[in-house]
Structure 1
């Protein structure tokens, strides 16, 4: 990007192009938008990319000689929309503006880079979604070898939320996926890591390389202490988080490039403690459809869409963050649940609270725009109204019984003086525009009132001059008028031009009239235009001073906004609980779980009133740790697994849950392995992706985790798949001890119940009526012995000829399976062939396995060795 065509050296360029090339040299990796008059222009390769990206005409301009250069541009007043399109396509944009009045410039107009806009650094409402954060992320490392640590910092520049986290190296990908950044900053020394990031987050993610010197502990300490005006970082709890602090400092330096002195609104930074919050990996977020649907990636069909009844953008963003980072500690969960319970029971209180919330402006994003000079008067006025509303929240919540609601109320700081200052300064009729002035209230500034008085009397003075000149010239139709091109003038019809005095100076000739000026009118014009220009300039200065005063209170305003957002989330949970019949869960620190008549929160809403969702129970205790759930497709196995995961997640977020009753022992993580997908762009088949996900679960789950497995091993041959599923079940039960739900078509896994205490069989029930199968979607005790796959194929519309042939083949296979079992065992009561493999060859396999050093193998490597041993022991190898 930014390559100059042949023959275009700085020496050969015009003065303006030399200015452009100097700016482009500084911002090589950006599309440079260069202000020329009323347009933003791009040149050379940038012009080609801009033209193609936003579908505008590519033209050419002279470069001071015979050569011409490519050029593409758009009007500056429409810049936000065009820049939004560029950023949405993954470009970084540098804006080079005119920073002096062209009429006052001596030579070429001075220009400077005044802003950068990237996917992670934007304040544009055309790009941002008010209901979710836009994270700029940075990744840094400290130490080496086994002592190497990863640090992640992430900031939403529009809300000033700034956090760091230091995950384990093997959890780095999970953490980044849970953040969902729009842009990631890494050291230029970590170019290889850039490719790994794109693999983790998707090829469309923007990864920006930064200079290596920025990633040092000493530099980080200085940057952070300067930003937060402290002598140490102990007050933020990040003094020992070296890698995370480095990453945070890199973000601040990246912003400093263009924001310069406009970062004072960033007043807080906190450590995201993974002992307090649950990390949800990509597949769990996707499989449980927490914030987006697997179908099309939209919010429709997601848990977020069901429980989001928030009234403010601040509340909606916070709710999404809560769902993606559930709590892991009992005390804060119970505080939220008690608050939701009170708001649920007191409908009057909830109604008044939500009515007040509906009138609240997005304080967080308004503050960011105000502090960085991007705001308009109407937004400042709305900030003032939000501040005026804060005492009302305190009054409303003065008698609540919930400790959490009371604490939120008492923590609010209304800032009445600032609210009054804003009210006295900004005209209530102020709009979005500022170029014409008129947005500062009368009475706010004496000098402004004087200048306005002069302007306001313009009509009277014009009438005076008009009357005087009519009397002096005896031209009764003479008019004194004004337009933006010629200013103030006297218009006389051509029929009366012989009466025009000699001191009249002609300005313009029209078809039927002449336009003139006189010294008195010139003097008036100069005075009035000077007053208008000075008045607008003074208004802008007063507005900047007011914005600076608001920015000084950034810390308090951000805290107030967070408190309001939390009230919004709690009220939203109460609305959902009342509307959908949710119950208050009992959260314990044990490893048990007891859910009575649990429901899938999303599916029951999709089904609506026409079809009632079939509720099911689920329980875990020290005796029952794993459920093997068999049964046909469409019978409800997958929904059952997901509903348990979603009920657990909602409980640990602090929400009521869709069940008649629920007791949830805290889980540290929820793991899922559901469905079939591939990553062919990276050379990974469906089965390899499945095994990667399964390995991640086995390597990261703990006894406090909840594991949801759906159809593991279906991507390979029957024996391979069943072996993997069996071995995984054994490993989870004997080595991890985690609460596990395993839905499978391998009915042979029902044998596990007889072999291991704590594993129990359940099945999704069906009933047969004639040659049809009815799915009851009830999960009951016991194993299933039929997948009813042919019936599902019939329901899908498979041709009847195919269905009948499939039945014939199935009957033949089942007969052969029975015959083989009888031949090998000498009894008609033998287990099917697949189970015979485990029964008959078990001793040989176990002796061979004992010779393996399984402690040094990953679970998947061990499974591969197991398959080799199976083939050898059965004579296949």
Structure 2
């Protein structure tokens, strides 16, 4: 215990109680219920005061010292807790669990809820169109190798999955999930410190005791939860590391008092063969779910494609766009379903209407199963279930196999829908405090209690009328408050008329309050009936929630079907509104796009400047397209549009083109734009080379490579050497379909040297005083980058432009001639950097025999010579 907290004897009984609870939950902000407030003390109070911008006060702790304290009203706690959790804090809620009036000594308190970024059901924290993942990572030895297992769960939707991978792939996988919280073994702290340092996004990492990651321990937890002897039925038996991670998650949920987990009924494994893996740089460069400019949805592919009608579909289409399919059969099923919805307006509009009337079954079920719900949410779930029969009827004549299959999987649960309709009053509000949410006629005993209470209240009005006659006091009133119960109030002006049998209860400034035997009798009847009525109503509602939770598996199946129908509907609506075509999918490596468009840019551009359509062709004669041309001419847009068209096709969507034939792609790799990672000591060029190296090490012959301006981060000839060498390596060693956009128009020479390499360029029209970019990609190369013209368009001062043209003219007189008989080497290009008079430097370079070194070794040696020349004033 810290010196600030002192010893237990120095504190009052309540503070000792607080410290005992805090000792069990040291990693959590402890919200301690005191009367109508949740209070925090000591360091927690300082943290809460700063995070919520509320006053930090002090209270006596029973001795001479004072304790820092900060708190907020319990009735507003959800909003305050949401703010704390959004800032990365984990919160433990300690409530009073007995009536203070009946407590003998200190009021008993217990932890009633724990909220962390990865474990929350609050609408004030959650985004209904995003999943909220809690992840766990475990490492197991398998032979001589180490395998990483990752499990992730969204407790609000019951999605629970595992995957296994090489340890080097964990960072990429976790960041692609955007988890709210990651569970690791304390023994792996060093490994994850490196992960946190290399990430731009904030990661909340929770360390757990190493024993929780034992294979036997986690196996028992999984078997106990799913009530099975083995996990073969879930298809995860062979994934040892993933199973351990899944068991860790369930243990953590139990430790954080999430003890109503029976609605989590299934667990699945992510297989790399089923879905295309998209690394972070590809997701970022293609702007799939967020814009590179500001990180928001605006300007992203998701914004264009998401026309879903409910949150379940919105979450699914986000996953589909990030996990395109790799099996033609699965892709074709989606495409056929989208085609039918595109062609049948009546079915499409009917589907949209019904989907819009269905609420978020996944999250409603989770809140209902954990008794965190309100009656009107249960009623809305019942209404949603009642819509399912008409949804099935709409789809029963569907021609596509996928729509028929989805319709067959729906289960409307008519008995449960009917019971919810009979139980919940349509007028039930957002609060259960005043009762009245269970329908009259649903339960006889509840109706009787309500009748007693209602009749007794009528009797009270009779008493009021009778006493007015008995006392001749016309202003006499029978009233009620929670402190004094029912009473008769008489003004002081009429106090001389009060009968002797009136018993005084309270004296006010202008009135007196009394009771009489008849009033006491009916007060007891009313209060007893109301108390019993509220208790019975709460029990009936609890039983109804348990009944709903008992159908969790079937409700989740309905939810998954409805989400998929919604995502298919969204694809169909986008196809109709934007004029997309159905792509032809095949197993070969050809790729042909006729009049393709960028799905996002064409929505942004105005009618005055429509998006310029472009073709793209890969076949046996065209495997690598070298695209030259200036900035602003459309090279990068062409690369991105090709990647997005392939991605959409393999996600099962129609695509923005006149016609498209897509040979299946296993992965899309991109290297676009300039960025750095200064926090980890990585320059722009090093980041570029890291990303390029990852592509070369992971791409296969069936991948699609989108490379833009490789080598721009270093000197011209170093960069051109790397770009040339990479092109050769891709063409000879990998064979992947590649779009290579570059300013190095010297690379056009590759077409004459390597079969399958073909030149294209972004067309430009030069006039007397300006350059016009047509943004049309055509056959052939260009020998001009038009950089000075672009600088002029950007508003560069005129004298800078004039001087730049003078310098360029001078440099072009000593332009480098690249021999046609062989590609340039590090030696041949670097020697050209120096004047003929630098004979000593030339001799030094020749002695190095650079042609026998690898490009990287050669560049390092040349760098040493250049540094030596600078430091000594020349050779």
Band the TM-score falls in, shorter-chain normalisation: over 0.9
Tell me which of 673, 676, 695 is aligned to 2:693: 695
* CA drift at 1:37: 1.3
| 3-state SS, counterpart of residue 177 of structure 1 | helix
Aligned equivalent of 2:856: 864
Tell me which of 648, 666, 669 is aligned to 2:667: 669
1:88-110 Cα shifts (integer Å, max 9, x gaps)? 11111111112222233222222
Distance 1:472 1:562 in 2: 69
1:354 equivalent to 2:352? Answer: yes
Aligned equivalent of 2:248: 250
Distance 1:251 1:752 in 2: 53
Distance 2:801 2:200 in 1: 41
* CA drift at 1:204: 1.6
Runs of 4+ that moved beyond 4 A: 829-836, 838-841, 844-852, 868-877
Distance 1:48 1:801 in 2: 58
* CA drift at 1:868: 4.3
Correspondence list, 1:792-871, <5 A: 792-817=790-815, 837=829, 863-868=855-860
Aligned equivalent of 1:712: 710
Distance 1:534 1:836 in 2: 95
1:658-714 Cα shifts (integer Å, max 9, x gaps)? 001001111111111111111111111111111111111111111111111111111
Distance 1:806 1:830 in 2: 32
Tell me which of 486, 489, 494 is aligned to 1:488: 486
Tell me which of 137, 141, 144 is aligned to 1:143: 141
* CA drift at 1:260: 4.2
Distance 1:114 1:590 in 2: 59
| 3-state SS, counterpart of residue 814 of structure 2 | helix
Distance 1:579 1:845, change over 3 A: farther
**TM-score, length basis structure 1:** 0.94
Aligned equivalent of 1:52: 50
Tell me which of 425, 442, 445 is aligned to 1:444: 442
Distance 1:450 1:4 in 2: 58
Distance 1:402 1:617 in 2: 30
Runs of 5+ unmatched residues, structure 1: 853-861
Do 1:152 and 1:166's aligned partners in 2 also have CA atoms closer than 8 Å?
Answer: yes
Correspondence list, 1:445-460, <5 A: 445-460=443-458
Do 1:674 and 1:709's aligned partners in 2 also have CA atoms closer than 8 Å?
Answer: yes
User: Please, which moves more after superposition, 354-363 or 830-839?
Assistant: 830-839
Distance 1:282 1:751 in 2: 33
Distance 1:201 1:152, change over 3 A: farther
Aligned equivalent of 1:367: 365
Distance 2:126 2:613 in 1: 39
* CA drift at 1:864: 1.4
* CA drift at 1:838: 9.1
Do 2:456 and 2:525's aligned partners in 1 also have CA atoms closer than 8 Å?
Answer: no
* CA drift at 1:754: 1.1
Aligned equivalent of 1:636: 634
Do 1:173 and 1:200's aligned partners in 2 also have CA atoms closer than 8 Å?
Answer: no
Aligned equivalent of 1:785: 783
Runs of 5+ unmatched residues, structure 2: 833-841, 870-874
Aligned equivalent of 2:755: 757
* CA drift at 1:525: 1.3
| 3-state SS, counterpart of residue 259 of structure 1 | coil
* CA drift at 1:145: 7.6
Distance 1:732 1:640 in 2: 20
Aligned equivalent of 2:837: none
Residues paired across the two proteins, number: 858
* CA drift at 1:113: 1.4
1:166-195 Cα shifts (integer Å, max 9, x gaps)? 123333222222211111111011011221
Distance 1:491 1:871 in 2: 99
Correspondence list, 1:468-867, <5 A: 468-817=466-815, 837=829, 863-867=855-859
Distance 1:623 1:165, change over 3 A: same
* CA drift at 1:146: 4.3
* CA drift at 1:871: 7.6
* CA drift at 1:15: 1.5
Aligned equivalent of 1:387: 385
| 3-state SS, counterpart of residue 628 of structure 1 | strand
Aligned equivalent of 1:855: none
* CA drift at 1:409: 0.3
| 3-state SS, counterpart of residue 108 of structure 1 | coil
Aligned equivalent of 2:838: none
Quote the RMSD (CA, aligned, Å).
2.4
1:228 equivalent to 2:220? Answer: no
Distance 1:868 1:212 in 2: 45
Distance 1:97 1:511, change over 3 A: closer
1:152 equivalent to 2:150? Answer: yes
* CA drift at 1:44: 0.3
Do 1:174 and 1:279's aligned partners in 2 also have CA atoms closer than 8 Å?
Answer: no
| 3-state SS, counterpart of residue 289 of structure 1 | coil
Aligned equivalent of 2:179: 181
Do 2:5 and 2:42's aligned partners in 1 also have CA atoms closer than 8 Å?
Answer: no
Distance 2:658 2:534 in 1: 64
**TM-score, length basis structure 2:** 0.95
Distance 1:665 1:833, change over 3 A: closer
Distance 2:865 2:739 in 1: 31
| 3-state SS, counterpart of residue 143 of structure 1 | strand
* CA drift at 1:112: 1.4
Aligned equivalent of 2:192: 194
Aligned equivalent of 1:857: none
Correspondence list, 1:207-286, <5 A: 207-286=205-284
Correspondence list, 1:280-299, <5 A: 280-299=278-297
Distance 1:650 1:815 in 2: 48
Distance 2:475 2:406 in 1: 71
| 3-state SS, counterpart of residue 194 of structure 1 | helix
User: Please, which moves more after superposition, 117-126 or 404-413?
Assistant: 117-126
User: Please, which moves more after superposition, 712-721 or 831-840?
Assistant: 831-840
Distance 1:839 1:621 in 2: 38
* CA drift at 1:387: 0.7
Distance 1:541 1:139 in 2: 40
Distance 2:79 2:241 in 1: 38
Do 2:30 and 2:91's aligned partners in 1 also have CA atoms closer than 8 Å?
Answer: yes
Distance 2:283 2:827 in 1: 35
Do 2:146 and 2:166's aligned partners in 1 also have CA atoms closer than 8 Å?
Answer: no
Distance 1:614 1:832 in 2: 36
